[in-house]
Amino acid sequence: MIFKSSEMDLNIKNALGYLTFKALDDIPFIRHGFSTRMGGVSSGEFTSLNMSFGRGDPDENVTENYKRLCEAVGVSFESLTASSQDHNTFVRKVTKADRGVGIYRPKDMMSVDGLITNEPGVTLVTYFADCTPLMFIDKRTHAIGSSHAGWRGTVGCIGEKTVNKMKEEFGTDPCDLIVTIGPAIGKCCYEVDDPVASKVEALGLDTSKLLFPKGGGKYMLDLLETNKQIIMRAGVPEENIIKSDVCTRCNHDLIWSHRATGGKRGGMCGVLSIEN
């Protein structure tokens, strides 16, 4: 396996692999990481670091995988708070009272594709396996957010809604945000049809950078660039937005990809927290 990226690092700790953004290394008040397929206890089609409950992998395996990821990244297992994703655009504010939800406590809300907090000791967990991870760090207020943007969440502008929710809850100025996008399925691998393309066109963005016709009603779609333009429209400066150059399908030996596996897979997660 050869990993190449100008934007992300592959970190190995106790045989567990996780990805981090180079651009976030100099932000001292956060910890973050994206799980890979390396270093867990799951077997079969979930080999070996599966972070998704409810796909057929025993819960005890997934729980152990979380404990190993937390140790590697340097966050507390007890601090984890998970989203409850269904490709919608609801963004939820969470606090220390919500720690454990979706991990070692039952989910208490459905349809939560974005999480925000301004409390240290709360680690936001969102899930992916081709869809686009969005992370938001407010350098001034030290608030954070993490959202899941598949094509439905993307055209529903969950990136913009996350920015607006942080403005509403924490007084975030979009100019103070650092936003990372990815790793996700790239325009090299993400083929969509006319119905999806028409929803992207309806966003009023620069589609010359988003949709690339193949003929026969098929297009290659750049989900990362689409989210970038949406987040810029929300007021975040372009220079504050970092896109991953790691395609999940091209790197499916390292990262979970729904399309590469035909749906027989585990899942990756992104974790983001404010340091105590």
In a domain, 236, yes or no: no
Q: Please name which of 185, 192, 201 lies closest in space to residue 245, comparing C-alpha atoms.
A: 185
In a domain, 215, yes or no: no
What single DSSP character describes residue 83?
-
Number of domains into which the chain is organized: 1
Query: What pLDDT score does 175 carry?
Result: 98
- Spatial distance between the Cα atoms of 167 and 105, rounded to a whole number of angstroms: 29
Which structure tokens are listed for 156? 């529903």
- Coil, strand or helix at 84: strand
pLDDT in tens, 108-117: 999 999 999 9
Q: Please name which of 96, 115, 42, 98 lies closest in space to residue 271, comparing C-alpha atoms.
A: 115
Q: Which range of residues forms the domain containing residue 177?
A: 8-185+241-274
In a domain, 201, yes or no: no
Residue % of the chain over a pLDDT of 90: 99
Which structure tokens are listed for 81? 């708070």
| Band of residue 276 on the pLDDT scale cut at 50, 70, 90 | confident
Query: What pLDDT score does 2 carry?
Result: 85
- Spatial distance between the Cα atoms of 228 and 63, rounded to a whole number of angstroms: 33
In a domain, 270, yes or no: yes
Question: Which residue type sits at 179?
Answer: V
pLDDT in tens, 248-263: 999 999 999 999 999 9
- Spatial distance between the Cα atoms of 89 and 157, rounded to a whole number of angstroms: 7
In a domain, 218, yes or no: no
- Mean pLDDT across 188-194: 98
In a domain, 26, yes or no: yes
pLDDT in tens, 197-210: 999 999 999 999 99
Query: What pLDDT score does 268 carry?
Result: 98
- Mean pLDDT across 156-181: 98
Query: What pLDDT score does 196 carry?
Result: 98
- Spatial distance between the Cα atoms of 125 and 195, rounded to a whole number of angstroms: 30
Is pLDDT at 42 greater than 80 in this prediction? yes
Helices (H), 131-193: 151-155, 158-170
| Band of residue 92 on the pLDDT scale cut at 50, 70, 90 | very high
- Spatial distance between the Cα atoms of 80 and 90, rounded to a whole number of angstroms: 19
In a domain, 220, yes or no: no
Question: Which residue type sits at 153?
Answer: G
Residue % of the chain over a pLDDT of 70: 100
In a domain, 205, yes or no: no
**223-233 helix and 158-170 helix, angle to the nearest 10 degrees:** 40
Look up the CATH number of the domain holding residue 84. 3.60.140.10
- Spatial distance between the Cα atoms of 183 and 133, rounded to a whole number of angstroms: 7
The pLDDT mean for the chain works out to: 97
Is pLDDT at 237 greater than 90 in this prediction? yes
